[in-house]
């Protein structure tokens, strides 16, 4: 049974698809069986992979399109080590179902005050789902950070206070051209941007660490990242 990580936020444009695809690619390039699952029948990832890829493979991104499975529960039967579910930007009953089969929900957010307001509905829904499924682990990750944003720590503190006990990832994802451009060739691992790769690597490791903290799980057989991709992305971002 795969580890299932849903990437969710009811707001559009926060980086759900970008992070889901690149995290799945990270595991693939490190030797695990991994895929990104498109939960939206008209999903942009499916369009991208179908347009530029071959046999649901695009660079190191493996895709499970929405028409390849019937119920979300069916995903539990798949033979990958880890799946990242890319969810659409609205609250629906699908989200409830997705969260109930997930081990982890990653909530990407940008850091403007409006984004801080927008995250509340998703967090409320997650608090409700955790009443039904207390083992569900949730982490907020700050994405699209401008290097000059000195108030990053304040936003982290705010999220920790307002986040209903939900973990905020140490790793933050910087706004980088290569994250945008990577979709021309596949994932960030098809580019030369080692800093972007390092951010995805540390985020991927934090997800596994948080899951292990919560309960005893079998870790996917992922080789340690190379020294070039290892390390913490956090320090760099906070100091920037």
Ligand X SMILES: Nc1ncnc2c1ncn2[C@@H]1O[C@H](COP(=O)(O)OP(=O)(O)OP(=O)(O)O)[C@@H](O)[C@H]1O
Q: Please report, as ranges, the residues that interact with Mg ion according to CB under 5 A.
A: 16-17
47/112 with CB nearer Mg ion:
47
| Residue 144, contacted partner among ligand X, Mg ion, none, CB below 5-8 A by kind | ligand X
Per this entry, what is the length of the chain? Answer: 240
Closest by alpha carbon to 9, among 34, 39, 35? 39
Q: Which residue in 143, 171, 191, 202 binds ligand X (CB under 6 A)?
A: 143
Shortest CB 17 distance to ligand X, Å: 3
Examine residue 112 and tell whether it contacts ligand X (CB under 6 A): no
Q: Which two tokens stand for residue 131?
A: 């009443």
* 3-state DSSP of the chain: CCEEEEECCCCCCCCHHHHHHHHHHHHHHCCCCEEEEECCCCCHHHHHHHHHCECCEECCEEEECHHHCCCHHHHHHCCCCEEEEECCCCCCHHHHHHHHHCCEEEEEECCCHHHHHHHHHHHHHHHHHHHHCCCCEEEEEECCECCCCCCHHHHHHHHHHHCCCCEECCCCCECCHHHHHHHHCCCHHHCCCHHHHHHHHHHHHHHHHHHHHHCCCCCCCCCCCCCCCCCCHHHHHHHC
> At closest approach, how far in Å is the CB of 217 from ligand X?
26
- Closest approach, Cβ 219 to Mg ion, in A, equals 28
Write out the two tokens for 134.
């207390």
The residue (of 15 and 81) whose beta carbon lies closer to ligand X is 15
Q: Nearest distance from residue 108's CB to ligand X, in Å? A: 7
Residue placing its CB nearer to Mg ion in the complex, 107 or 222: 107
x-marked contacts with ligand X along 157-196 as a string, rule CB under 6 A: ----------------x-xx--xx----------------
Smallest distance from ligand X to CB 130, Å: 22
| Minimum distance of Mg ion from residue 133's CB (angstroms) | 24
- Rounded distance between C-alpha atoms, residue 45 and residue 96, angstroms: 21
Per-residue x/- track, 9-48, ligand X (CB under 6 A): ---xxxxxxx-------------------------x----
| Comparison of 18 and 81: residue with beta carbon closer to ligand X | 18
The listed partner (ligand X, Mg ion, none) that binds 22, CB under 5 to 8 Å by sort, is: none
What are the residues binding ligand X (CB under 6 A)? Answer: 12-18, 44, 89, 143-144, 173, 175-176, 179-180
């Amino acid at each position: 049974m795969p580890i299932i990580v849903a990437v969710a936020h009811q707001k559009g444009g926060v980086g759900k698809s970008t992070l889901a695809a690149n995290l799945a690619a990270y595991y693939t390039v490190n030797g695990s069986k991994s895929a990104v699952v498109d939960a939206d029948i008209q999903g942009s990832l499916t369009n991208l992979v179908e347009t530029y890829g071959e046999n649901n493979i695009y660079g190191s991104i493996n895709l499970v399109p929405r028409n390849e499975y019937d119920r979300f529960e069916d995903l539990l039967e798949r033979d990958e080590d880890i799946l990242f579910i890319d969810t659409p930007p609205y609250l629906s009953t699908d989200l409830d179902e997705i969260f109930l089969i997930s081990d982890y929900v990653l909530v990407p957010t940008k850091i403007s005050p409006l984004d801080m307001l927008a995250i509340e509905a998703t967090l409320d829904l997650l608090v409700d789902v955790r009443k039904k499924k207390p083992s569900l682990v949730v982490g907020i990750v700050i994405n699209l950070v401008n290097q000059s944003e000195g108030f990053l720590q304040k936003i982290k503190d705010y999220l920790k206070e307002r986040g209903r006990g939900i973990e905020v990832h140490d790793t933050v994802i910087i706004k980088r051209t290569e994250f945008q451009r990577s979709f021309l060739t596949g994932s960030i691992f098809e580019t030369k941007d080692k800093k972007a790769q390092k951010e995805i690597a540390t985020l991927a490791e934090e997800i596994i660490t948080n899951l292990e903290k919560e309960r005893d799980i079998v870790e996917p057989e992922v080789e340690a990242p190379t020294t070039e991709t290892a390390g913490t992305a956090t320090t760099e971002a906070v100091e920037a």
